[in-house]
Amino acid sequence: MNLDQQFLNNSLRSYIVIAAIFLVTLIVKRFISRFFASLIYTWIDKKNHYELRKSHVHRLIIPIEQFLIYLVAVIAIYELRFPSEWNIHLYKLTLQTVAEAIVKLVFIVLFIRVCLRTLEFIAIILEEKAKLTKDQSDDQLVLFFRDFFKVILYIIGFLLILHYVFNENIGNLVTSLSIVGAAVALSMRESLENIIASFIIFFDKPFTIGDLVKVNNFTGTIEKIGLRSTRIRTQDKTYISVPNKQMVDTIVDNISLRTERKIELDLQLNVNTTALQLTQYSQFLNSELSQLKNINSLLVFIGEAGKQYHVLHVECLVSMQLGLNDFVALKDKINLMAIGYANEHNIQFANNV
């Protein structure tokens, strides 16, 4: 057999070498793809948990295999000479030019696909690690940056196709897009402010998912922090969206970060109540309330003395570890205790003024 025999402007030897390269690639592609996938996983997760790696590495294997085979095919085919018999023109373009454009298009698509799968692969690993922490803000941060970098990769892929497939000058295109982008930014100023505010929330962390907050006269639990707004489930079980800019610019009371919760009681007593009765009433409340569990500090004093009524002020600080039902029960007990003493000792409360 003459290995130098020509077929379509290429020797038989060249075809055999390329076929051998393809065969070797098909044999080792799985090992190479597994190696790169494991390498990326180990780089992200230093502890290198075997079970997690086994369940996630396969997500990258197929895209890397396809890209590897195509890369070898492109390199091998470029070693061959394009047959002169096929050099025909299609709408002022040669068949060779069209074929090269298609090859570049497929290459860019497969490359971006591998990058997207790698991004998703990294996001899944980081999401698994984020679930191990109590702080839920890092879960949202992973999803946020995953979607953000996906958009960046799509834009890069689009620009690469314009430049290498259609031979467009992307420098002029980027300049035009920047001018258009400036005009869009001016028209969407409020939306951009909310996006910038979302970054501030993610990094400054004035509150996180699961925190109980009070903002704009609404009290509720943070359920989601998005790019544009923060979703809050109120105590009335309604679901509201507050723009992130407001969450940054207004005063947000993070109730979950309080160390203690306050119980306040203002007893408006009839002006005919004597000083002795007020003193005994104050001593009674001090004595009885100080014996109750879960009260960290107690303050009872006459807050106001006037022509219309006297005010006996009661202030208790309770630990935030106390559940809501127990807190309400303790507050009821204090109220009933104050009412019961007033009834037993004929102390009249002030009429509504």
180-195: per-residue pLDDT in tens? 666 655 556 677 788 7
Residue 352 in any domain: the answer is no
Residue 351 in any domain: the answer is no
> Is this model's pTM higher than 0.85 or not?
no
- C-alpha 203/C-alpha 137 separation (Å) is 9
What value does the mean pLDDT take over residues 215-239? 87
Question: Among residues 237, 256, 275, which one ends one of the domains?
Answer: 256
Residue 350 in any domain: the answer is no
**How much is the pLDDT for 233?**
92
What does the block give as tokens for 229? 């707004």
Residue 330 in any domain: the answer is yes
State whether 216 and 265 are in the same domain. no
At residue 283 the predicted structure's pLDDT band, cuts being 50, 70 and 90, is: very high
The residue segments making up the domain with residue 228 are 198-256
At residue 340 the predicted structure's pLDDT band, cuts being 50, 70 and 90, is: very high
**How much is the pLDDT for 185?**
56
Residue 190 in any domain: the answer is no
Question: Among residues 256, 291, 306, which one ends one of the domains?
Answer: 256
Matching residue, tokens 């502890």: 47
Residue bearing the bigger pLDDT, 154 or 41: 154
Count how many domains the chain has.
Answer: 3
State whether 45 and 82 are in the same domain. yes
State whether 318 and 270 are in the same domain. yes
What value does the mean pLDDT take over residues 5-24? 71
All residues at 6 or more sequence positions from 309 whose CB lies less than 8 Å from its CB, including other chains = 268, 269, 270, 271, 350, 353
Q: Which of 19-33, 80-94, 175-189, 324-338 has the highest mean pLDDT?
A: 324-338
What value does the mean pLDDT take over residues 217-246? 88
Pairing of strands 239-243, 260-270: unpaired
Q: Is the pLDDT of residue 226 over 70?
A: yes
Q: Residue 204, class by beta-carbon neighbours within 10 Å (0-12 exposed, 13-18 middle, 19+ buried)?
A: exposed
For position 206, which CATH number holds?
Answer: 2.30.30.60
